[in-house]
């Protein structure tokens, strides 16, 4: 191998590593669950997706597709539906992003037995993958006046117990 093809190979390899580190970000689900999960992009892609229409910060409507947050919690064995009573009502969800931004959701506000509002871990907007500064995964909270909890670049979902 010549020196220039070697350095080209090195560059390609480094490029692939950088691409993998920014795009192949898994999502972890942990805490008060029966099974902690690390979901890879392929796992997330294979889960059933739902579409919601929501207004962004500029008041423009977009169509967001993704996995209902409650479905991810169910898969990890968090308390949902009829289990949401008694001490389980003191459980809450902290969603964390790559920049350490965090926001809290209560379990009932995510649950279809309590609300018709569908909070998503979205992976696309208007049929396209989310832009790099927001994706690959972003929380979408329809019908909220401010998009403060529309957490960009989600990395983990942690169920906790308020004692
Ligand atoms: N990871 C992450 N997500 C975030 C924030 C942040 O600082 N970090 N800011 C929030 C706030 S305060 C707002 S108003 C919206 C802005 O969304 P936009 O960047 O799509 O306009 O993102 C929310 N999601
Ligand atoms: Mo904001």
* Ligand 1 atom 5 nearest Cα: 151
Give the tens place of pLDDT for each residue, 75-118: 999 999 999 999 999 999 999 999 999 999 999 999 999 999 99
- Please report the beta strands in 26-73, taking only residues with DSSP state E, as ranges in sequence order: 27-31, 37-39, 50-55, 61-68
Q: What is the biggest distance separating any 2 CA atoms in the chain, rounded to whole angstroms?
A: 70
- The H or E element containing residue 128 is strand 128-129
Please give the CATH number for the structural domain made up of 25-161: 3.90.420.10
- Cβ-contact 69, 157 below 8 angstroms: yes
Among 158, 141, 161, which residue's Cα sits nearest to residue 73? 158
* Ligand 1 atom 12 nearest Cα: 148
pTM of the model: 0.88
Give the tens place of pLDDT for each residue, 107-143: 999 999 999 999 999 999 999 999 999 999 999 999 9
d(CA 19, CA 35): 29
**Residues with Cβ within 8 Å of residue 139, at least 6 apart in sequence:** 69, 95, 103, 119, 120, 121, 122, 149, 150, 151, 154
For the chain, give every domain's residue range: 25-161
Q: How confident is the model at residue 74 (pLDDT cuts 50, 70, 90)?
A: very high
Given the CA of residue 133, which atom of ligand 1 is nearest to it? 19
**φ, ψ for residue 144 (rounded to 5)?**
-115, 140
pLDDT at 149 over 80: yes
What is the Cβ-side half-sphere exposure of residue 142, based on CA atoms within 13 angstroms? 22
Give the tens place of pLDDT for each residue, 9-66: 666 666 555 555 455 789 999 999 999 999 999 999 999 999 999 999 999 999 999 9
Rg (CA), the chain: 18
**Looking at residue 25, what is its pLDDT?**
84
pLDDT at 2 over 70: no
List, chain by chain if needed, residues with CB within 6 Å of any ligand 1 atom.
Answer: 56-57, 97, 99, 101, 134, 147-148, 150-153
**Looking at residue 63, what is its pLDDT?**
98
* Ligand 1 atom 7 nearest Cα: 101
Sign of the dihedral defined by the CA atoms of residues 3, 8, 11, 17, in that order: negative
- Cβ-contact 52, 120 below 8 angstroms: yes
């Amino acid at each position: 191998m010549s020196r220039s093809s070697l350095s080209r190979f090195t560059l390609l390899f480094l490029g692939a590593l950088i691409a993998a580190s920014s795009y192949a970000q898994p999502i972890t689900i942990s805490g008060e669950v029966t099974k902690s999960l690390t979901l890879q992009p392929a796992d997330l892609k294979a889960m059933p997706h739902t579409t919601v229409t929501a207004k962004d910060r500029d008041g423009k409507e977009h169509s967001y597709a993704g996995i209902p947050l409650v479905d991810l919690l169910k898969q990890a064995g968090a308390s949902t539906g009829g289990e949401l009573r008694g001490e389980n009502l003191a459980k809450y969800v902290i969603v964390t992003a790559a920049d350490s931004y965090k926001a809290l959701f209560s379990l009932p506000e995510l649950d279809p037995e309590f609300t018709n509002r569908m909070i998503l871990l979205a992976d696309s907007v208007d049929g396209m993958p989310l832009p790099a500064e927001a994706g690959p995964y972003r929380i979408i909270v329809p019908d909220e006046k401010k998009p403060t909890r529309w957490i960009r670049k989600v990395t983990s979902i942690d169920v906790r117990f308020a004692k």
